[in-house]
Chains A and B, each alone.
With several copies, the nearest count.
Chain A
Amino acid sequence: MNPPPETLTASQPSTPLQLTVNDLSIEAATVNGTGSQSANNILAKSLFRMGIPMAAKNLFPSNIQGLPTWFTIRASKHGYTARKKELDWLIGMNPTTWEKDVANLRPGAVVMWNSNELSDAPVKARGDLIAYPIPMNDCIKGVAADAKLKKMLVNMVYVGAVTHLLGIEEEVVLKVIADQFKSKQKAVEINVACLRAGMEYAKASLPKKDPYRVERMDANGNKILIEGNTIAALGCLMGGVTVMGWYPITPSSSLAEALIALAKKHRVDAANHTIRFADVQCEDELASIGLVLGAGWAGARSMTTTAGPGISLMSEFVGLGYYAELPGVIFDVQRVGPSTGLPTRTAQGDVLAAAFCSHGDTEHLVLHPCSPEECYEFARISFDYAERYQTPVFVLLDLDLGMNFWMCEPPSYTTEAFDRGKVLSPAKLDELKAAGKKWGRYLDMDGDGIPWRPLPGNPHPDAAYFTRGSGHDEYARYSEDPEVYRRNLDRLRKKIEGSRTTLPQPVLETVPGAKVGILAYGSTNNAMREARDQLAAAGVKSDYLRIRATPLATAAVEKFFKEHERVYIVEQNRDGQMELMIRQVLTTPGAVDKIRPVRHYTGFPIDARTISDGVLAGEGKR
């Protein structure tokens, strides 16, 4: 393993400068609605195409125009892709945050800014920063007339300057620009002109003072750069979703919208102009989940996309799904709660809300993907789980995973058949009958708690049944009988318990001799390798268990506790929601005493240092 580089750069004195190659984080502080996103994407993509491991994050406000936004790119030859706690290179474009942005910089960081708009004073006042002022408005004076367009294009100037100063390959940037604007030749030209203006200015007026450089690497192989929501949508397409009901909400809307776009392209029947995908932008989340469960009941693979507030609103219906055994998939792209909270910030705050959604005794299947790869995969197989277990399945992304750019191994084309579970065809029903077995919609015929279900329209005279959220017996008949009720509830538990061993199992990463265990899940994974490298450098060997679903794989979790002296549970929420689910199942004596929580809840994605510091503190090394 490599030494933890953040420590190196962070503690590095501002002089003498030590060359740092392919290892920095750049942040552009802009105003939303000004079109900086396009410039930032070009910069990010260029680094990606140079084969350097990287990731990019957009820190945006819950607002449409005029408020501060920060776009951060982290490039790391070590392949570290989480947010870095401290910034190496600031690009200042926003007057309202300028002073604070500068004040927050670590000693010796680089700062570049639009000197036509922002004052030099804060940088001067600090004295320790490497300064690159650029009169960006002047640079593009001749390029465009329209004021709004100018505001957008000015961002290309810093792309140019950074390109020059870091040594990004010009052809790469040009190609990225060409790809980005595709057929719009005019846009390509004007953007290139601004890029060039920035490059020229840097060449002429900004002698290199910083230690950062980028160089072509070959670390990215066949990878793609993608947002979790986008690739999850592809997973849904391949997983065979045919009905979607949704209601817009940040940060989940882009998942739905990506899927709609995919379906428009890939689900249109050329022959009769029909569409093999039905999507309804519903009037609210109660309607979306109702639509999903109605469609699932009638045999379609169905889904919805939402965030915390939607989960709350869906609670009653989700209970119906559990109890009446209706399949359906709910994508919850988590944002910061409680209530409206910080709608454009990230958290793992719905772990419990999803797992125990609704009143009464319930427990739902919840998948926790950690990467674009898993976003694709879990999205795809979530429909199998929903139909196999005939129950609502949650897929919990978070804003960091869903809306930020991550490198990802491209999924290989899926040829696996759908697992439609125990759908009872007329033939199967005849077969059962012939074998002398009486079928009942809620009868456990196979000992796994999972009953057989006919789809509406099944013409077999014995197939019809009545579905309800009130008490019912094995044959779907209304019942208030206490023993019938208990039997049904026990079967439901058995069914859900069965999923502990079939859901995606935890992933274990070990090093020889580790006494410390770290348990995490979801997007936290992106900071884990770096955190464990930092720990190793500080003399703490650690093993790592990554949870991928609940109900938990109890055995694996128990084993992990048995084999470690202390287990740090890292979560991006305040209350230790996954910890509670672990406490629920741990039975090994003394196991719970080993729990050490590491919790992060600021709305910013967790960084490696927060984890390693947490562990080091627990280990008495801090």
Chain B
Amino acid sequence: MSTVTNEKTNRGGFKLSDYQGLPSTLCKGCGHDNITRNIVQAYYELGLEPHNVVKTSGIGCSSKTPAYFVHRGYGLNSVHGRMPSVSVGAKLANHHLQVIGVSGDGDTASIGMGQFCHLVRRNVDMVYVVENNGVYGLTKGQFSATSERGAKSKIGEVNEFTDIDLCALTITLGGTFVARGFSNDAKQMLALIKASVAHRGTAMLDVISPCVTFNNHEGSTKSIHYVMEHDIKLNELGFVSPWEQPTAEIKPGEAVEIPLPDGSHLIVRGVNNNHDPHDKFAALQLLEESRKKGEILTGLIYIAEKERDLNTAMRVNNPKTMAQMDEADCRPPKEAFEKYLNGFR
């Protein structure tokens, strides 16, 4: 928590420090800390009410990070791999909450695989960040399921298994917002985080986030150096809040402008391509091709901004939340109660 005085405030009247958290206890240089910084910045710029921010996570170095941002929000650090389910519970209990879940590649793609797939399928309205470093950081460097076949571990072992591409997986499962970022690319990440928040549904951000302690060596396919060399930007992103003016006019064919439910706009400009992120099939193709080439494709890969989210599908969106329901909301009138019982005579 910084204690800067005379700090500037955002539109919501909150200071940057309201979005910060405790000092990080991660290793110096850990990619996860960069992501934390960008979340702080994005949330500040979006002007979210910090006390309505709910931060969920599983277990791992990545899952510790919710303690390092938005200290005025509420954190629920659950058990390993189960961030999705507690997030769904919280969102159903109070759909006004702005839920962000942070997970790791071990947390999501190994033990949490089942919950992850089903969260995506339900399109729960939340931001889902996977801080993907290809290893289990907190347990000291074992391969995770997103580690590429042939990758070398710090102690020299070679990974024998094909990696799971979380972006392709999410699209296949019917996900509605799929993007990949890199912890060292703040600009891209900032736009992605903002768009994730504005999106109504599950926004899956697969952020490659090097583990400087256990997976930053020669032979690693998730080292800072390797990712820098292999990062291919799919698109340039511009996020325009409802109260902002787009900086430049968009010529047709040059970019896709996507209006998001909260009134903001996302401007997607293909880099050497004209990929429309609404095209599911093209998205899968791009992923598969870049994969074959050994590239790491980053940017907004796929979006379906008009799909219903879970609360809407279930009609759990009364302004009065489940958490606020009282006796009158919950109990049928006496007559209805008696009538029901009468059916058992």
Contacts and interface: CB of A to CB of B under 8 A. Distances in A.
**Is chain B in direct contact with chain A in the complex (CB below 8 A)?**
yes
Interface of A: 33, 49, 62-67, 223-226, 230, 234, 237-243, 245, 247-250, 253, 262, 265-267, 269, 272-278, 280-302, 309, 316-317, 320, 339-340, 410-411, 413-415, 417-418, 455-461, 463-470, 478
Nearest to A413: B334
Given A253-B139, A283-B114, A458-B51, A272 B318 contact: yes
A340 B93 contact: no
B142 interface: yes
23 contacts: A65-B26, A239-B330, A242-B325, A245-B89, A265-B332, A273-B315, A276-B325, A280-B88, A287-B85, A287-B88, A290-B89, A292-B89, A294-B86, A294-B87, A294-B90, A297-B93, A298-B89, A299-B322, A413-B337, A456-B73, A457-B51, A466-B77, A467-B75
A394 B86 CA distance: 19
Contact of A300 (B85, B94, B113, B317): B94
B90 A64 contact: no
Given A223-B345, A242-B325, 13 more contacts: A62-B138, A224-B342, A247-B111, A274-B315, A284-B110, A294-B85, A296-B93, A299-B323, A300-B325, A320-B79, A413-B334, A457-B51, A459-B51
A463 B75 CA distance: 12
Contacts of B329: 276
Nearest to A291: B89
B73 to A, nearest CB: 6
Interface in B73-108: 73-82, 84-90, 92-94, 96-97
**Majority-rule SS of B interface residues:** mixed
A418 B145 CA distance: 36
A66 B115 contact: no
**4 residue pairs, one from A and one from B, having the closest CB atoms:** A294-B89, A290-B85, A299-B323, A294-B86
A618 B151 CA distance: 60
A284 B107 CA distance: 10
Interface in B29-85: 49-52, 54, 56, 59, 61, 66-67, 71-82, 84-85
B74 A464 contact: yes
B56 A294 contact: yes
A595 to B, nearest CB: 34
A470 B27 CA distance: 20
B311 to A, nearest CB: 8
A250 B67 CA distance: 22
A233 to B, nearest CB: 11
Given A64-B140, A294-B87, A461-B72, A316 B79 contact: yes
A284 B73 CA distance: 29
Contacts of B327: 240, 415, 417-418
Contacts of B302: none
Contacts of A267: 330
Contacts of B344: 224-226, 230, 410
A64 B77 contact: no
Contact of A248 (B114, B142, B340): B142
B143 interface: yes
A276 B51 CA distance: 24
B118 interface: yes
A294 B143 contact: no
Interface string B116-154: 011000100000000000001111101101000000000
B248 interface: no
A257 to B, nearest CB: 9
A265 B332 CA distance: 9
Contacts of B72: 461, 464
Contacts of A286: 82, 85, 114-115
A410 B341 contact: yes
B149 to A, nearest CB: 14
B314 A253 contact: no
A280 B311 CA distance: 11
Given A65-B27, A266-B336, A281-B143, A467 B76 contact: yes
A309 B345 CA distance: 34
Nearest to A290: B85
A461 B86 CA distance: 24
Contacts of A418: 326-327
A265 B336 CA distance: 10
Interface string B222-248: 000000000000000000000000000
Given A291-B92, A455-B323, A461-B72, A66 B25 contact: yes
Given A274-B318, A299-B324, A237 B330 contact: yes
Nearest to A63: B25
A297 B140 contact: no
Given A278-B92, A294-B56, A467 B314 contact: no
B8 interface: no
A240 B213 CA distance: 35
Contacts of B56: 294
B118 A456 contact: no
A151 B44 CA distance: 37
User: By CB atoms of chain B within 10 A, which of A224, A277, A283 has the most?
Assistant: A283
B344 to A, nearest CB: 4
B331 interface: yes
Given A298-B54, A457-B52, A291 B88 contact: yes
B28 interface: yes
Contacts of B75: 465-468
Contact of B213 (A33, A247, A250, A470): A33
A33 B27 contact: yes
B79 A283 contact: no
A448 B90 CA distance: 28
Interface in B303-327: 314-318, 321-327
Contacts of A468: 75, 77
A295 B91 CA distance: 7
B338 interface: yes
Given A253-B139, A287-B84, A320-B79, A280 B325 contact: no
